[in-house]
Amino acid sequence: MRQHAHAQEMGDAVIINTCAVTNEAERQSRQAVRKAKRDFPGSKIIVAGCSAQLNPKTYGDMPEVDLVLGNHEKMQQESFAPSLQEKVRVNDILEVKETAHHLVSGFENHVRAFIQIQNGCDHRCTFCSIPLGRGNNRSVPMPEIIHQVAHLMEHGCHEVVLTGVDITGYGGDLPGQPGLGQLCKRILAQVPDLKRLRLSSLDPVEVDADLFRLIAEEPRMMPHFHVSMQAGDDMVLKRMKRRHLRQDIYDFCAKVRDLRPGVVFGADVIAGFPTETDEMFQRTYDCIQDNDITYLHVFPYSARKDTPAARMPQVAKPLIKERAGRLRDLGTQLRSRYFQSLIGQELTVVTELGNKAHGENFAPIRIESAQEITPGTFCTLKITGATENNLIAHL
């Protein structure tokens, strides 16, 4: 988006890429717009992203906003042309058939890059408005992704994270329907200098046989997997219209641990989904604990307009908050226990800015050193301590 704005000589502008995953995210997006206008009164304010896609009139009516771009339009250079008269440039995302093939020009901490392999989602979970904001599944062709990975390697990148809305749905819309496992296999074969390949959120029942083989046999595939769990109770999962059940989470974690000892899991989980009873919540709590899920992302349920879940009997907000708090406390306990178990061990890392690093297990590490370590350095660290949020290590 920055490159497109520069190419169209947009000039002094602030681009706000909004989120719509929860009502709170949308509230914060609107708040960010007003703050940007206060902080940069002479700048043009451009609003893009999911909240803009879902509620273009809301942003179009804000006096602070100069331009509103939908999720497809924000990736088209011509959308930023000052000569266009329309303030709101948002079309029906469900009509879009392709994902923009854009090269990544920067990456986190000069070490880790994120490559979007697909956008949108063909599933219709009852709580989710993402398909309305992002459209249906659209996969980037495999040669383009491999080209991006090679491009990043030439610029000093050591680790690539494959991202998207539903990455286990990758390839379903491409000729031959190649899966995520086949994509990973091709990347690792055709870019042999890539040191680390990491995946974002996975649907536990859509992981294919090729990916399971890579987990078992390929050391460059990082042993950290984030599961799109959402709940651990079968009735809640059915009402969410998820593709998995409680036992599928147990089976996936057990299989991956058998293939790759020492693997670490994270998960997304929603607290207080409509109709969730104390017993249902407890089964989710137990599922997290039983599977020793180390990195937990907890979302208090937030009713999204025009979704089936918003029409279901709602859990009281104070109870949602309490359950989310209990899950976050559990996540802190599990992460702390895991970090403590690593004290005294040696971990191979690639260093980042500010004497920071992440282990292969994605554990964040603070390196105690009197001098700045060059980012991108591969080294072995001795773990000497841990805080609630990170490990402490020495060279």
Rounded to an integer, the average pLDDT of 13-26 is 88
**What average pLDDT does range 280-291 have in this prediction?**
98
One-letter amino acid for residue 288 of the chain: I
> What does the pLDDT average to over 321-345?
96
| DSSP state string for 28-84 | HHHHHHHHHHHH-TTSEEEEEEHHHHH-HHHHHT-TT-SEEE-TTGGG-GGGG-TT-
Superfamily of structural domain 2-91: Methylthiotransferase, N-terminal domain (3.40.50.12160)
Instruction: Locate the domains of the chain by residue range.
Output: 2-91, 93-222, 224-339, 346-394
Q: How confident is the model at residue 370 (pLDDT cuts 50, 70, 90)?
A: confident
What was the pLDDT predicted at 106?
A: 53
Say how far apart CA 284 and CA 286 lie, in whole Å: 5
Predicted TM-score of the model (pTM): 0.85
Is 70 exceeded by the pLDDT of residue 108? no
| Cβ contact 65:47 at 8 Å | yes
Residue 83 has pLDDT above 80, yes or no: no
Tens-place pLDDT, residues 208-265 = 999 999 999 999 999 999 999 999 999 999 999 999 999 999 999 999 999 999 999 9
pLDDT tier for residue 102 given thresholds of 50, 70 and 90: low
What top-level class would CATH report for the domain 93-222? alpha beta
Distance CA 74, CA 304 (A): 23
In whole angstroms, how far apart are CA 15 and each of 36, 43, 91, 119, 162?
9, 10, 19, 21, 24
- One-letter amino acid of 322: E
What is the distance in angstroms between the CA of the first residue and the CA of the last residue of the chain?
A: 39
**Per-residue pLDDT at 11:** 79
**Which of 303 and 370 is assigned the larger pLDDT?**
303
Residue 275 tokens, joined? 């109709």
- Residue 210 has a pLDDT of 96
Mean per-residue pLDDT, 108-128: 83
Q: What is the pLDDT of residue 46?
A: 92
pLDDT band (50, 70, 90) for residue 78: confident
| b/e per residue 115-134 (b: at least 16 CB within 10 A) | bbbbbbbebebbbbbbbbbb
Where does the pLDDT of residue 343 fall: very low under 50, low under 70, confident under 90, or very high at 90 and above? very high
Q: What is the dihedral of CA 322, 327, 333, 338, to 10 degrees?
A: -170
The whole-angstrom separation of Cα 80 and Cα 68 is 10
Helix (H) or strand (E) holding 333: helix 317-342
Longest Cα separation, the chain:
63
pLDDT tens-digit readout, 147-200: 999 988 887 788 999 998 899 999 988 899 999 999 999 999 999 999 999 999
Query: Quick count: other Cβ atoms within 10 Å of Cβ 333?
Result: 12
Instruction: Label residue 97 by pLDDT band (50, 70, 90).
Output: low
How many alpha carbons lie under 13 Å from residue 103 in its C-beta half-sphere? 12
Q: Give the sheet arrangement for strand 159-163, strand by strand.
A: 112-116, 159-163, 196-199
Instruction: Give me the pLDDT at residue 107, please.
Output: 58
Whether 2-91 shares its CATH topology with 224-339 is answered: no
Is the separation of the CB atoms in 391 and 366 below 8 Å?
Answer: yes
* Section 39-52 average pLDDT: 91
The count of other CB atoms within 10 Å of the CB of residue 16 is 19
Residue 98 has pLDDT above 90, yes or no: no
Residue 127 CA to residue 314 CA, distance in Å, equals 12
Q: So what's the pLDDT on residue 327?
A: 98
Of the candidates 234, 21, 235, the one whose C-alpha atom is nearest the C-alpha of residue 121 is: 21
Domain 224-339 has CATH 3.30.750.200: yes
Amino acid at 162: L
Mean pLDDT for the stretch of residues 315-319 = 97
Strands 224-230 and 44-49, bridge-based pairing = unpaired
Who wins on pLDDT, 66 or 98? 66
**pLDDT class of 369 with cuts at 50, 70, 90:** confident
Q: Does residue 395 carry a pLDDT above 70? A: yes
Please tell me the distance from the alpha carbon of residue 139 to that of residue 120, in angstroms, as a whole number. 9
Mean pLDDT, rounded, of the chain: 90
Rounded CA Rg of the chain: 22
Nearest to 335 by CA among 364, 366, 300, 368: 364
Q: Residue 34 and residue 32: Cα distance in Å, rounded?
A: 6
Cα of 35 vs its chain's centroid, Å: 26
